[in-house]
Each structure stands twice: as C-alpha cells, then as structure tokens.
Structure 1
Amino acid sequence: MPVAGKDYPITWSQFLDWFHSEESCRTYLVGLRWPTGFICPKCGFLGNVTQSSRGRWVCPACKRQSTVTAGTIFDKTRTDIRVWFAAIWYITSQKNGVSALGLQRVLGLGSYETAWTMLHRLRRAMVLPSRELLTGEVEVDETYLALTERGNHKSGKSSKCNTTKALVVIAVEILQPKGFGRIRVQRIEKADSAHLIPFIWESIDASANIHTDGSTAYNKLKEKGYDHRRTVHLGSDIQAHDSMPGVHRVAALLQRWLLGTHHGAIQPKQLDYYLDEFVFRFNRRTSKSRGLLFYRLLQQAVVTRPVTYKKITGKS
C-alpha cells in the first residue's frame, strides 16, 4: 500500500509543494511508470538508462527514444503536466464529479474543448480490465437512463437537444446486515441472455449468490455455476424497490448524478465512459484520503493507452 505523505500528498498545500514545476511532475511520473527501472516500450529492455539532454530516454538495445508521457493518456498533450496534475487532484477531490465547464473555470483553461478532452481521457483511466470481480450476494437488474443529446459540446452551449433512452445493467454487492459494497454498470443493447450473461460472467465471481427478477434472460445462470435466486414481481404485493433495494438505489443515484453534474447532456456514444466514472466514484465513496484517490487515478493513467480528440468524438 502507498504511504500518505511519502508516496502521495495529503493536502492541497502539500500538493503545491510537491508539484511546483513541470520537472517535478515528470519526475513523479517516472517513479509511477517505471518503479523498478526504465522499460523500453519497443524491445522490453529493463534497466537503468541515462536521460538525454532533451528529456528523453534512449534504449541501449534498440536505440529507441522514449518519454515518460509517450503511450499514456498524456501522450502528445500540449497542456502542461502540472495542469494535468491539478485537474486530477480537483476531479478526485470533488465527491460528485465535475463538468467540463467547471473544470475549465477552475483551471483557467483557454477553451472548453481542452477541458472536455481532458475529462474524457481521464475517464478512460478510471477502470482497469484486471479489477476484482464482485463476490457474496449480488443483485442484478436493468434500467433505462434518460439522456439529453446536445448539438455542440465545444462551446458548452446547445442550440438543439434530443432526448433519448439508454439501457444499462447494474450489479450491486449486498452487505450484511445492511449496506452496499461495490458495483458494476454497463450499457447493453437488449435485455436478453445474449447480453446479460456475458456481463455477469465478466463482472461477478462464480462463487457469488445472484439475485434477479423473474426475467427468463437469467435462466442460464445456474448452467454457469452461479447460485441464482429469482423474485417474480408481477402480481406480487412486495414492490421491486423493497425486494431488490441495491440496484434501485444505485439506478436512482446514477440518474441523479447524470442530471445534477452533467445536466443529462451526454452524447449516447460517450455514455460508457461516464458509467466508468460513476463506478469509480461509487466504489471509492468511503475513502477518507483524497490524496490516495489522486495517486490511484494517476497510477492508472500511466498504463492507459492514449486516445486522441478525433477518436473521442468519432471523427477519426
């Protein structure tokens, strides 16, 4: 486990002392990306390499030149790394997240487009494929999210809005005697077994006890080795939000978060990354250290592949 005050700053004042220059930020990134020594991204050479005068590492084996930001979400960015660090600290210190317009105002960025792109790059670093599966008692259900698709995100304003609905599936760990653990949320095209079973298999451990409604889409769960309990709500005196409180509470919080922080104005093709941010925040809601969240997100940022603005907007 990283140590507070040694591996990451504890307060904003300490943050300013640690990352007062561009050089100090890049040095910190080197320790995160190559804690055991430089690793060449081309040939895999591992060892100590002398840094060149231009701030690059030259692999002694294949002679490839590398930088600490190459191949990360900071790749080819024209924004100072010091500004990126401030953005990550601000984003992780806000309990309910921030909008691109809010980030632009706080950091004094020159354009809304820059803040919007930074947020989308960071959202891609909020979830790692190797995360642990959900365990114990897990509720699973589907719900629809109301989205407002706006025409022009560059200016932060809109001249035309279209309302659409997106289908998502939610899985929630149920703690005993009460409370909720971690969650998983994913958009799906259809609420059938072809879409729900793969989500469950990739998100929930086979030892878990799964609780669903009476949909036939979950009938194959026992074939996968899961302990499956069904609750049929049709004609029952027990309301769905009483028999399955976890998924309904998370669904309500998710919709409120989309409307409150982002005013529901989300491009449907970008929804997956907003869901990743919501999961990242929800699963770390009990963390008392904002500095540790800053450290974890930065740690994931240096192992996440880069993405361009054109790719984010689908124009590439």
Structure 2
Amino acid sequence: MAQHFLLSAQARTLSLASIYKAGEDAAYGTFCKMRWAETEGAPVCPRCGGLRHYDVKGRRRFKCAACAHQFSVTSGTIFASRKMAFVDLCAAICISVNAVKGVSALQLGRDIDCQYKTAFVLAHKIREALASEVEGMQLAGEVEVDGAYFGGKVRPANHKEDRRDRRKAENQNGERRVVIALRERDGSTKTFVTNTEAEGVALAVENVSAEATVFADEAKHWDALHSRFPAVGRINHSESYVTEEANTNQAESYFSRLRRMVDGQHHHVSARYLYQYAAEAAWKENNRRLPNGDAFRRTLSLAMGSPVSRQWKGYWERSQP
C-alpha cells in the first residue's frame, strides 16, 4: 500500500525551528524575495516603479532616487505599519499553514508570544490574503454547489416546560448563517456567507461559467439551476450519497473541514467574520496536498500582493459599528 503524501518527508519542507534558527535577517530576505520576485528581492518603488534607491541608515527602509518616496518591504501591503519582527511574522504564517484545520488567536498568541489582540488581527489579515487568491475568478468545468448552516445555536432552557423549538426563526439568536460553497472538482473553491441557501442560485450564476456542468442536492431552490446551465446533476441524499450520475462529495468534504475548524479550534465564530473562516478552510482544502514550505511561500506571496486591509488596519483603535 502506497504511503499517504502527508505522511511522507516531501510534505514537510519547512519547520518552525528552521525559521527561528535562520534568524531575522533571513526572514527579512524572504519578505523581500516574495514582495519583489521579478527583481529577485531588489526594491522597487511602489509609487513610480523606480529601481534606483538609497538605503535609509539605521532602518529597513528605502528612498527612491527618482521620486524621493520612502518605503519599506511591507509598504502598501496587508502587513503595512507592522511592528512585529519579520521572523515572528514568518513563524505566524508557518503555524497557520501547518494547522490544517485552523489555529485560534489564543493559541497563535501563545506560540509567538504576543497579545491576543495582535494575534487576532494578524490571523485575520492572513485569512484575507488567502481569500484574495480566488477573488474575481470564474469557475468552470464540473462545479459542485451546496450550502451548510453555521452558528446560531441556542442553549436549551434548564426546565423542560421552558424549552422552545430551536429550529424556528423566532427562537434563534440571529447569528445563524449559511456558507455557500462553489467548488470545482480538482480545482478552486469560492465561498460566500448568506442568510438562506436559496441565495446560492444567484451566486452560482454569477461565479460559474455558463458552459459548466453543475452538481447539487435535491433541495427545491436548486431547481432554478436547470434553466441557467446546460447540464445539471442532482443527488437525492435521502436515497444515496453517490450515484453514477451525480454527487456533491467534494463540497461535503469542504464543509467537513470547516465544521471541524469552527467546532474544534475556534468553538465560536461570529456571523460577522464567518466569511473569512470559510475562505481559509477553502484555501486549505484546495491545497491539502501542497508541501508546507510551498504553502508558506504561496501564503506570504499572497500577503505581499494584497493591499492595505481597510477592515483590519487599526482595528482595535477605532470604534466598531
């Protein structure tokens, strides 16, 4: 019997120990190579694109010789205005990609020795970078469409006579949401958070190629897919999970990972930020056979290519609506 890839040495190409052993200068060099891959780490002015620069003495900053603009390796990226050491940022990304079902902010804070607030924002910035990989992407080929409910669980009353039917909307707490997954078979996954699963029809029409073959379960709202796509496969889960004609197993596999992430690692996820956890689980599911060193470099490359986060920059300094 062949050995599973994740059990092989090829899956382990980066370790936390190697990051700290290499030190701060090596971590900084890694950031430069990911930010300016076209020039092999040589600085490029983000304002005018100039290649000539001066080093700012005593600081890891540069001054463009053409426009006199000062910048650093993280200027204009999701890590702009960072105060954490580069080696700790590399360690945080390594921990994140190694945690295949996510890592809580409390655990991340203990691992890299920082406050909970710092770890919380850093983890969300990494999730935002991962989500950018499929932004604007149109799915094609064979695409599975499905939805799953998350959150909104209400603790039952102590006495039986006080208990209510928690399946009814009036007895819920308003935190219940649906994660819609549009997953290419052996391809990319796009996720959305909605109030009802029926909203997934419009999302599928918008984000899936009109020539794609779509697979869904027996829920009635998916009937509308037949008029939008040339080929639609349906599976009735009350009768079987897989037939020769259709299944939604890959979408269900994604939901299994997300449920274990939410229930086992985070224990509670606010409906306000569920979309970021959903995107993180989708990225990890898509790249589950990627060596962790490659996953680290891809994540850092996405972070260096992502603009300043308008949601997470200064998150704790401003009043939240």
TM-score range, shorter chain: 0.7 to 0.9
The answer to whether structure 1 residue 187 and structure 2 residue 187 are counterparts is no
Partner SS, residue 62 of structure 1: coil
Partner of 1:229: 232
> How many percent of aligned residue pairs carry the same amino acid?
22
For 2:284, give the aligned amino acid. Answer: R
Deviation at 1:81, TM superposition (A): 1.9
Partner SS, residue 124 of structure 1: helix
Partner SS, residue 77 of structure 1: coil
- Kept in 1: contact 2:20–2:87 (CA 8 A): no
TM-score (norm. length: structure 2): 0.75
Cα distance change, pair 256–279 in 1 and its aligned pair in 2 (3 A): same
Partner of 1:208: 212
Partner of 2:273: 270
- Kept in 1: contact 2:177–2:193 (CA 8 A): yes
- Kept in 1: contact 2:56–2:62 (CA 8 A): yes
Partner of 1:165: 176
- Kept in 2: contact 1:134–1:205 (CA 8 A): yes
State which of 71, 74, 80 in structure 1 corresponds to 2:76. Answer: 71
Paired residue total: 281
Cα distance change, pair 191–125 in 1 and its aligned pair in 2 (3 A): same
Partner of 1:113: 117
State which of 243, 262, 278 in structure 2 corresponds to 1:258. Answer: 262
State which of 258, 279, 282 in structure 1 corresponds to 2:285. Answer: 282
Distance between the aligned counterparts of 2:216 and 2:318, measured in 1?
A: 36
The answer to whether structure 1 residue 238 and structure 2 residue 239 are counterparts is yes
Q: How does 1:1-316 map to 2 (within 5 A)?
A: 10-18=14-22, 20-21=23-24, 23-35=25-37, 36=39, 37-42=42-47, 44-53=48-57, 54-109=59-114, 111-129=115-133, 133-147=138-152, 164-174=175-185, 182-192=188-198, 196-202=201-207, 204-213=208-217, 215-216=220-221, 219=224, 222-223=227-228, 226-231=229-234, 233=236, 238-239=239-240, 244-246=247-249, 247-263=251-267, 265-287=268-290, 289-307=291-309, 308-310=313-315, 315=320
Partner SS, residue 117 of structure 1: helix
For 2:175, give the aligned amino acid. Answer: T
Deviation at 1:147, TM superposition (A): 4.8
Distance between the aligned counterparts of 2:118 and 2:205, measured in 1?
A: 36
Partner SS, residue 132 of structure 2: coil
Gaps (5+ residues) in structure 2? 1-11, 155-172
Deviation at 1:31, TM superposition (A): 1.9
Partner SS, residue 268 of structure 1: coil
Distance between the aligned counterparts of 1:140 and 1:64, measured in 2?
A: 48
- Kept in 1: contact 2:235–2:242 (CA 8 A): no
For 2:299, give the aligned amino acid. Answer: L
Distance between the aligned counterparts of 1:45 and 1:229, measured in 2?
A: 48
Deviation at 1:253, TM superposition (A): 3.3
Q: Output one character per residue of 1:229-250: Cα deviation in whole Å (capped at 9) or x when no partner.
A: 15374xx962467753423343
Q: Output one character per residue of 1:53-102: Cα deviation in whole Å (capped at 9) or x when no partner.
A: 13322222321111111112221122222211111111111222211111
